[in-house]
Structure 1
Amino acid sequence: MSAADCPMTEIPDVLLAALECADGGIVIVDSARRITHFNAGAERIWKLARAEVLGRDAELLTLKCLRADPVAEFRDEISLVRRDGTRIRAAISLSSVTRGGVTHHVVFARDVTAEAERRVRIGLLHAVSDQTNRAVLITDTEQNIVYVNSTFATLFGYSSEEAEGRRAGALIAGRHTDRKAVAKLVKRLMTGGRRGEIETLVYNRDGEEIWVCARIDVFRDRKGRARHIFALLEDITETRQLRSLQQLIMSALADEVPITDIADRLCRRVEEIAPDVVCSLLHVDAAGLVHPLGGPSLPEDYSRALDGIAIGPNVGSCGTAAFYGEPVLAEDLDTDPRWQPYKTRPLEVGLRACWSTPIKAKDGRVIATFAFYFREPRAPSNWHRRIVNACVDLGAFAIERKEARAEIARLAYHDILTGLPNRAQLRHLITTAIDACPTGSHVALAFLDVDHFKDVNDTFGHAAGDELLIQLAQRLREQIGPEDMLGRLGGDEFVILLPQRNAESAERVAAGIMEALAAPLRLGSRQLQMSASIGISLYPDHATDIDTLMQQADAAMYMAKQAGRSTHRIFSAEMNGLTEQRLALIAALRRAIAEGALTLSYQPQIRSCDGAVHGVEALARWHDAVLGDVSPAKFIPLAEECGLIEQIGLWSVREACRQMADWRRAGLDIPSVSVNLSPINFRNVTLAARLKDILAEYDLPPDALMLEITEGTFMRDSVAALETMNAIRELGVGLSVDDFGTGYSSLSRLAHLPIRELKIDRSFTRDIERDAGALAVATAVVRVGQGLGMTVVAEGVETEGQRKTLAELGCDVVQGFLYAPALPPVAFERWLIEHCAEQARAMLGRLDVTPAGRDAVQRSA
């Protein structure tokens, strides 16, 4: 059929021209399904020339909608396969027109491939947007919302239908939103500036605060004109704001900032992230009295008025919360009955409500309260509760650390056994008394040393000796006046400071003490006689400086001992002969070192987990033919004074290694030996090389030797000591901090030292069953050691209860009289054999083996 035969000739020319100009394809099909019109747009869509299709069957167009009989109206988007095999998306609309009894079908087609692809991309973007954990917000240039993602709906509680069309500021901004910062950023973006970021408070549908980090940018068209404002909102309530509180506290604690400054910083930071509150932190002492720690926005006179108030069931919000150990909310201070005696000043400065939460220690004690004051009658929001939950834990950590440090500070200046001032505190007290001494008056200083105290320790054990010293301290307190001061230097040595006392008055005090000590002491079921020797010196008659005054009192005390003990002496010039005696003692010590008269005794260290021997500690002993047994407490300080201590230290290492080599050749399994060294040893840069030579001489591995050092070694000589310690640790020899906790050392320094072991001082071990402070310090030392990967050893373990408590704390190793005192080598060997046999018997008991097997195990043991 030619074109002239087609009905299209019946279409007016104007309409034909219009059909040709149409963007889409227009196809007309007659009732016989022949194509009668095919415009230029159709040629582009099907990629067919009209000469190829006019008069042809419509099947050529691959349209299923034309195959139906009768052909129905149709409108849809389909996938269209063209003759060349390519595929496009096409919007197809089919209509039927009847004219003169003849029906024609008109197909309108439009290529929507690009639109479909764009819709797919938009769908993907929507899917990605809904999967992100950040809220997406898009507005027009007037800040009317045009799009939000599902995270936005979750975070703020508005669906996309509820949010779209509303102004962003009206929807999520609130009282404390930083509108000026947002407006400034948007203005900058609209004028061509780069995208920016701000942190601010916004509000959800329920009015709850949410801290967000908003990254804001502008979408522009091809001509650079701003069309939309884009905001990506990240909820930083947990990730940044609350974490910033933790970082603030931890960094302050690491810098050893005072607790009041920490509390002040914490309150200020809280008020930054919760601008509608006034923050307060109160400490609750052991007596139940409150003391302000932090409250920078509260009136100063109000904070002062709170200091010293006792907690109770109707003492405002904080006092009541501390009393009951539960949070307390007063939504209206003016009417709350608990606030009536305290409300005037808060109401004057516009504080109308108060919510207080108790801060508890690990043992359940309320040690502080954390309070929010509000400027309107109200309850706390969820955001406020989240802040307080974080601050309560942080506050507890900071305050407990403060209490622990205060206890350590107290221990640094007070004797833990008797509670008396120690040597360091005594020097301060003596200086103060001398400075305050009126012209023409005196200050008397009395040194007291218990007679034959070593016999008590050796016979009845250190626990009995400690009890004797406690009772002695009590008797001494009863014999001195309210202005006098009693202190303990260490061991069995006490000092009595007698301000404004002359020689006659001081002698009366000494005589009263002698009389009081005449009555026996009761130690359990035993009664012990006790006596003491006292030496007295006077300021300014005998000396005008502390050191000389103390030396003279010490010299007088030795004269009292030489006079037969249980008496007192006042220093006189004739006592200068004591210096000669001291020189004689030094000479005897030099001879003992040169002639090998010093010996080592060994005390076992036992593993808590299985009772096996962890190692031994070597302890120097000196028996002189004339002087008898000389206590290490006497000759070690003397050796330090006269320059012999370094020599004794190296001798101790060599002798301990020699003994270890002998034991190992004899088949005795002793893992390591600990030797005490003086801080002076660590000033010698050749110490590590000397140790290496000694170990090689006796063919011992480095881990067979452990060196015990005092905290003073790295506190006083930090640079030199640290270099030596690092060299020793590289050698493989272990380092142990002896008497840890008594030197008030810095934990931050300890964490960077090459230490392998911590030793809990026996003063803490002694009271661990009955004193919460000693238990807390021991617990802290174990936790520090565990945290730093160190072995923790407890000294002075004398009872099964002490051992059990330490084991429950996780202490790795114990040593003390519970197992054995320090023993000479032969005695230690016998003890070790018996201990191994006892271990074997215990194992047999657990295994319940047969008699034959039991005999075999016993023979092997």
Structure 2
Amino acid sequence: MSASDCLVTETPDVLRAALERADDGVVILDSAHRITHFNAAAERIWKLARADVLGRDAAALSLTCLQADPVVDFRDEISLVRRDGSRIKAAVSLASIVAEGAIHHIVFARDVTAEAERRVRIGLLNAVSDQTNRVVIITDTDQNIRYVNSTFTKLFGYTSAQAEGRRAAELIAGSHTNRKAVGKLVERLMHGGRRGEVETLVYDKDGEEIWVCARIDAFRDTKGRVKHFFALLEDITETRQLRSLQQLIMSALADEVPITEIADRLCRRVEQIAPDVVCSLLHVDSAGLVHPLGGPSLPEDYSRALDGIAIGPDVGSCGTAAFYGRPVLAIDLDTDPRWQPYKARPLQVGLRACWSTPIKAKDGRVIATFAFYFRQSRAPSNWHRRIVDACVDLGAFAIERKEARAEIARLAYHDILTGLPNRAQLRHLITTAIDACPTGGHVALAFLDVDHFKDVNDTLGHAAGDELLVQLAQRLREQIGPADMLGRLGGDEFVILLPNRNAESAARVAGQITDALSAPLRLGSKPMQMSASIGISLYPDHATDIDTLMQQADAAMYMAKQAGRSTHRLFSAEMNGLAEQRLALIAALRRAIAEDALTLSYQPQIRSRDGAVHGVEALARWHDPVLGEVSPAKFIPLAEECGLIEQIGLWSVREACRQMASWRRAGLNIPSVSVNLSPINFRHVALAARLADILAEYELPPNALMLEITEGTFMQDGAAALETMHAIRALGVGLSVDDFGTGYSSLSRLAHLPIRELKIDRSFMRDIEKDSAALAIATAVVRVGQGLGMTVVAEGVETEGQRKMLAELGCDVVQGFLYAPALAPVAFERWLIEHSAEQARAMLGRLDVAPRDAVAVKRSA
């Protein structure tokens, strides 16, 4: 007899008592599959009373495992439908025993519904955990890893099997991990503190750095005891660390921080997020010399020693990288041949390797280098490369911005045509010279005006005049000493500052200049004779303030002109009559305005696409019975000084509209007239109403009038000018920015101004055929203007080559001596008739070709 038989037959009461107390449901079936035992746990599981099932067939239990024939042993989790229709998950096992020669079946059942649901929840949590882009790590209280999600594997390279059971610090912490901050947070959690987060460097399976934000919390039991730690790690390498570099640069640029301070901040920030490097930023100037911009962790004497070193093929890492335009790595400074002249100081402070990357401008020039020094002989990691990729772009942006601002500052204080100091810079130079003048010393000021220069512009065009001014400036430079300074006030007026020169010495310089100008300048192959009148004043003999000194030098220059030109005069007390002459000139100008003695000349503007007249520009002219032709370059500034400019501007608009109305009545088709207005005109909000009255008076549509303004109009008195400009555009009158490209207004501001037209300044036309910079500027203006929906007009076009080049650029309209100078109304009418006839002949010629071609084709057919 078996042991089971003994249990069934010899100790039924003990067995039954034991089965009754069992947690699992126990059901015993006889060989006929009738239920012979049904314990209390079985009643709970099936929700059946034993009295209702004892002696019944096993089919009442809805167990398919009992329906097989023969019945075999079975173990599984099944879904069990109970008598009341409810469903549970049950772990069921079936065993067969032999007792008294008969087979009995014992069914063990346990309700595992809660456990199954928990497993489902855990499975769902695992699935969710694996779907998140954040790393999940669960450890025990000893920080041994118990669980990691799939993101952990993707980021760090360890499988869950490789990670589980190992200490987290052993697996992903490294030399620059902030273990102290993590330890403090864990300690706080162990003592009931709240969760927290730490930003730190961690390392993947290959030792590459990863910046993470780790949010750490504790799992506690019902008694509040810590059972596990939970860490959620987010990779912030891109989102926070690299973007912090971008934010640092952009905010510094917005705050107008000097480039050296920006470089210092950038290097310090890089050294925070890459603690194993020492960072350096060097500027490379146009001569190929390096200049330290940032390197706060490098020895100061080492940085100073680098200043002014020329780049080359064997000049350390930075000089070589700048020379070749590609990254250079020196793994061992001590043995690298490129480092031999420069290695001593870096090795002395523990720097063993250097990796330098060139920073390039948009045009491909190397403008800087960005270097990492290492304390070990090593190559950069992927993290280092990502930092450098970001910093190279940011560095290029910051340095190009610095160069652009330096160029803007240079343009603000230097004449764009000659490169000489302009009026603003000259005042500063004169002040400096006077302040430095020793007791008993002198400062001489020479005012030079080119004789008959207007004739050059009128006969040969402004481009020729500009070229001669450039040559003149060069010749003047050759006649002055190294301590002397030459500047251009504008037009054909130059100033020469002569520190520590008395009257006799200054007169010798003026005589040398006169002699030097006796040799003709050359315009192409054509010699051009030029001369100049020079006036000299002395500090402190004649005046002690700049304005008076300049006025006296100007007065002396006029005396030189009256003396026959091509000579010089020293100011004397007798020349104080200059003030009277100026007053007389102002009186003459007032009289000319009152007597309607000013006139307008008209220069045509021609459409590039078809040669048709786009419009005309009205230019003010003044011929005085006594003074003769007075240049606009003289009387317009004078009018601004004495408050007459606004009156001249409104007169110009009225006269231009009157002339336009007259031409239209005569059947001449001129689409619009452009009139130059001073910024002063735009200070008055009533300007739009005045324009409306004038247009109504002459029955002209608003689009027949275009007002030309300078960039200074909306840079000064911005609010008032902008209000007036919007009112004018609402009226329908066009606004054109004259001399665009010579100022430095904001393009972002330009995009929001009510401007309809941009005019490229004539100074860019002179060299557009041979100077890539002038061509680039003209191209940029065309693209900017057309991109903003504006018409682009090029002034000063004097050659067919210039016209063709502008047409290829897509410039809408050209204006200049190529077509006509500014003409009096009658002369302009004759020109317009001839131009229209020429256009008609050209059109007929094109039309005549087509019929002949058609006849030829027909005959050949």
Query: Which residue is equivalent to 1:256?
Result: 256
Distance 2:747 2:258 in 1: 16
Maintained 8 Å contact 1:211/1:235: yes
Q: Which residue of the partner structure matches residue 3 of structure 1?
A: none
- State the partner residue of 2:630: 630
AA of the residue aligned to 1:120: V
CA distance in 2, matches of 1:170, 1:522: 81
Distance 1:728 1:101, change over 3 A: farther
Task: State whether residues 447 and 496 of structure 2, in contact with CA within 8 Å, keep that contact through their aligned partners in structure 1.
Answer: yes
Cα-to-partner distance string for 1:213-252 (whole Å, 9 max, x where unaligned): 2222223334433332222211111111111111211222
| Partner residue in 1 for 2:144 | 144
Give the match for residue 578 of structure 2: 578
Is the Cα contact below 8 Å between 2:8 and 2:15 reproduced in 1? no
For residue 372 of structure 1, report the CA deviation from its aligned partner: 0.3
TM-aligned CA distance change 1:21 to 1:431, over 3 Å: same
8 Å Cα contact 1:535-1:568 kept in structure 2: yes
CA-CA distance at 1:699 after TM superposition: 6.5
| CA deviation string 1:628-684 (max 9, x = no partner) | 432211111010111101112233344445556677788888776554332323333
Q: Deviations over 1:597-643 (max 9, x none)?
A: 33444455667788787765443333334434322111110101111
Question: TM-score of the superposition, structure 1-length normalised?
Answer: 0.89
- CA deviations on 1:119-169 (whole Å, 9 max, x unpaired) are 222222222221111111222232221211111110111111111122212
- Aligned equivalent of 1:4: none
- Distance in 2, Cα, partners of 1:772 & 1:611: 26
1:471-482 equivalences under 5 Å are 471-482=471-482
Q: How far apart in 2 are the matches of 1:404 and 1:828?
A: 43
Match of 2:445 in 1: 445
Identify the residue that residue 859 of structure 1 maps to in structure 2: none
Render the CA deviation track for 1:718-753: whole Å, top value 9, x for unaligned.
Answer: 565455556656767665554445445567876876
The equivalent residue for 2:515 is 515
Deviation for aligned residue 1:88: 2.6
Tell me whether 1:545 sits opposite 2:545 in the alignment: yes
SS in structure 1 at match of 2:621: strand
Offset at residue 105 of structure 1 (A) = 1.5
Aligned residues of 1:409 and 1:744 also touching (Cα < 8 A)? no
Q: Hey, what does 1:100 align to over in structure 2?
A: 100
Between stretches 808-817 and 194-203, larger displacement belongs to 808-817
1:380 aligns with 2:380: yes
**Does the 8 A contact of 1:682 with 1:721 survive in 2?**
yes
Offset of residue 80 of structure 1: 2.4
- Alpha-carbon distance in structure 2 between the residues aligned to 1:363 and 1:597: 53
Q: Counterparts of 2:359 and 2:490 in 1: how far apart (Å)?
A: 38
Aligned pair in 2 of structure 1 residues 299, 761: CA closer, same or farther (>3 Å)? farther
Distance 1:661 1:231 in 2: 83
- Return the alpha-carbon distance in structure 2 between the equivalents of residues 848 and 100 of structure 1: 128
Residue 15 of structure 1: aligned partner: 15
- Mean alpha-carbon deviation: is it higher for 204-213 or for 844-853? 844-853
Does residue 268 of structure 1 match 2:268?
yes
Cα 1:808–1:291 shift into 2, 3 Å: farther
Alpha-carbon distance change, 310 to 88 in structure 1, aligned in 2, over 3 angstroms: same
What residue identity is the alignment partner of 1:147?
Y
Q: Distance in 2 between matches of 1:792 and 1:30?
A: 106
For 2:367, the equivalent position in structure 1 comes to 367
1:193 alignment partner in structure 2: 193
Which residue number corresponds to residue 49 of structure 1?
49
Which range moves more in the overlay, 838-847 or 158-167?
838-847
For 1:330 and 1:47, how far apart are their aligned partners in 2? 81
Task: Please state how far the C-alpha of 1:584 moved relative to its aligned partner.
Answer: 2.7
| Post-superposition CA distance 1:189-230 (Å, at most 9, x none) | 333333322221111111111111222222333443333222
Moved more, 7-16 or 352-361: 7-16
In the alignment, what sits opposite 2:462? Answer: 462
User: What secondary structure, in the 3-state scheme, does the structure 1 residue paired with 2:679 have?
Assistant: coil
After alignment, is 472-481 or 288-297 more displaced?
A: 472-481
Partner of 1:343: 343
Match of 1:483 in 2: 483
Give the Å deviation of 1:841.
9.2
2:295 matched to which residue of 1?
295
1:549-605 per-residue CA deviation (whole Å, 9 max, x = no partner) reads 211221222222233323333323333333333223222222332233334444556
Letter in 1 for 2:174: G
Deviations 1:479-514 (A, max 9, x none): 333333222111111122233333333333333323
Aligned to 1:63: 63
Q: Could you say what secondary structure the match of 2:279 adopts?
A: strand
Q: Deviations over 1:347-399 (max 9, x none)?
A: 11111111111111222221111100011111100000001011111111211
CA separation of 1:418 and 1:384: change in aligned 2, threshold 3 A? same
Q: How far off is 1:461 after superposition?
A: 1.7
Q: 2: distance between equivalents of 1:176 and 1:668?
A: 82
Bigger drift between 709-718 and 218-227 goes to 709-718
3-state SS in 2 of match to 1:681: helix
Find the residue that maps to 2:202 and give its secondary structure. Answer: strand
1:724-739 maps to which residues of 2 (within 5 A)?
Answer: 724=724, 736-739=736-739
Letter of the structure 1 residue corresponding to residue 190 of structure 2: M
Q: Aligned to 1:117, what secondary structure does the other structure show?
A: helix
Q: Which amino acid aligns with 1:221?
A: D
Structure 1 residue 110: deviation in Å? 2.1
How far does residue 109 in structure 1 lie from its aligned partner after superposition? 1.8
Aligned-partner residue type, residue 247 of structure 1:
Q
The CA deviation string for residues 821-840 of structure 1, in whole angstroms up to 9 with x for no partner, is 44556666777788788889
Q: Does 1:331 align with 2:331?
A: yes
Structure 2: how far apart are the matches of 1:811 and 1:291?
41
Pair 1:129 & 2:134 matched: no
- Residues 280-289 or 579-588, more deviating: 579-588
- CA change 1:811–1:171 in 2 (3 A) is farther
Distance in 2 (alpha carbons) for counterparts of 1:685 and 1:388:
53
The corresponding residue for 1:81 is: 81
Cα distance change of structure 1 residues 438 and 837 upon mapping to structure 2, 3 Å threshold: same
Match of 1:858 in 2: none
Q: Deviations over 1:255-291 (max 9, x none)?
A: 2221111111111111111111100001111221111
AA partner of residue 294 (structure 1):
G
Distance in 1, Cα, partners of 2:846 & 2:370: 53
Quote the Cα distance in structure 2 between the aligned partners of 1:91 and 1:667: 107
User: Secondary structure at the residue paired with 1:416?
Assistant: coil
Counterpart for residue 857 of structure 1: none
The change in CA–CA distance for 1:553 and 1:414 in structure 2 (over 3 A counts) is same
Give per-residue Cα distances to partners, 1:430-470, cap 9 Å, x unaligned. Answer: 22333333444433322222222122122222221112112
Letter of the structure 2 residue corresponding to residue 12 of structure 1: P
Q: How does 1:552-701 map to 2 (within 5 A)?
A: 552-603=552-603, 617-657=617-657, 674-691=674-691, 693-694=693-694
2:449–2:532 contact (8 Å) kept in structure 1: yes
Q: Which residue of 1 aligns with 2:3?
A: none
| Structure 1 residues 822 and 228: CA distance shift in structure 2, 3 A | farther
Maintained 8 Å contact 1:532/1:567:
yes
Per mean C-alpha deviation after superposition, the further-off stretch among 333-342 and 624-633 is 624-633
Match of 2:221 in 1: 221
After superposition, the Cα gap between the structure-2 partners of 1:606 and 1:163, relative to the gap in structure 1 and judged at 3 Å, is farther
Q: Distance in 1 between matches of 2:252 and 2:847?
A: 54
Output the CA distance in 1 between the equivalents of 2:320 and 2:704.
59
Q: Distance in 1 between matches of 2:845 and 2:132?
A: 64
